[in-house]
Amino acid sequence: MAKESTLLSSLSVKVCLLVLSGYHRKCIHPLQLFEPHPFRPKVGHFHTLSIVHIASPTKQQSKPKIGLQKDKLSTNSQDFSAKEIKDMAPEVVLQLAFLILTLSIFFVMIKLPKQALTKLRAKNRANLQSSRHFVQGSHLLVRARSIPNREQSLIHAKNALIEAEKALSLSPKDPAPHILKALALDLMDRKNSALRSLDLALSIPCVKSLSEKERGDALVKRAELKMAVNRKRRIDSAMEDLVESVRLLSDGGSGTESKGLCLLGQCYEWKGMREMAREAFEKALRLEPESIAAREGLDRLAS
């Protein structure tokens, strides 16, 4: 027992010296000295110590390898993330552009119909009010023509003129209020003003909304006013209007066509074109057998 204790103490001293001298750097653990000699009998206590302590330096040596692998993985992941970001940049830009386009289309689809609907409502409201004033003015004009009393007729004609001007303030491009205004002014013996109103009604912006019959009636009335205002200077212009009105009203067979033919016959008569005047009066008499103007024209030509 004394020998074994001395042996153990000497071995412990050697182990301490080896640890201090740095033998652990050479991958040989100092406790490996406790390995049993192949020619000596195996001692279980020393063998177990060697097994336990030999495993520890392998673990310590494997730790730096794991750290290197982690560094490599982190660098690879950083490179991979940078590549992914570089590859995804065009897709992100495209998606943002598509999102902006979708939102703008959505905004336009919501905003424009509201504006168009508001404008349409305002336009329809103005047209309805203009139509109401036009209808009231037409009724007043009919009353003014049917009343034999001159003063009451002028009052109704003035009221019809007011309604026509209200309708024009709401829809200035509508030719119907211009024609109503011209007829009211004619009834009030303001023929020059009536002629200007008819010129506006038959101008290019307004005349497009007139039918052929309405345009023919307006041309007949304008020719009548031209002949009443200044027959000598406006007779050629009146004849042009009457020829155009007869062409437009040729299929209708209305009283306005007969009136236009009678006025055209008078123009031919004033121009000394008796044969053409007779043809115009005869045609007017065929359309309206009770036409007094056509019979009087034929009587003048026969005398």
Q: What is the domain partition of the chain in residue ranges?
A: 2-84, 216-303
- pTM (2 decimals)? 0.60
CA distance 86 to 154: 88
Residue with tokens 């038959």: 202
CA distance 265 to 293: 10
216-303 — its CATH code?
1.25.40.10
Distance of CA 20 to the CA centre of its chain: 91
* Phi–psi pair at 254, nearest 5 degrees: -90, 175
Residue 92: its pLDDT value, please? 78
* pLDDT digit string (tens) for the chain, length 303 residues: 545 555 555 655 555 554 445 544 444 444 444 444 444 444 444 444 443 344 444 444 444 444 445 555 455 555 556 666 666 777 878 888 888 888 888 777 777 776 666 666 666 777 888 899 999 999 999 999 999 999 999 999 999 999 999 999 998 889 999 999 999 999 999 999 999 999 999 998 888 889 989 999 999 999 999 999 877 788 999 999 999 999 998 876 567 889 999 999 999 999 999 999 999 999 999 999 999 999 999 999 987
Structure tokens given for 236: 């050629």
Residue 46: its pLDDT value, please? 42
Residue 105: its pLDDT value, please? 84
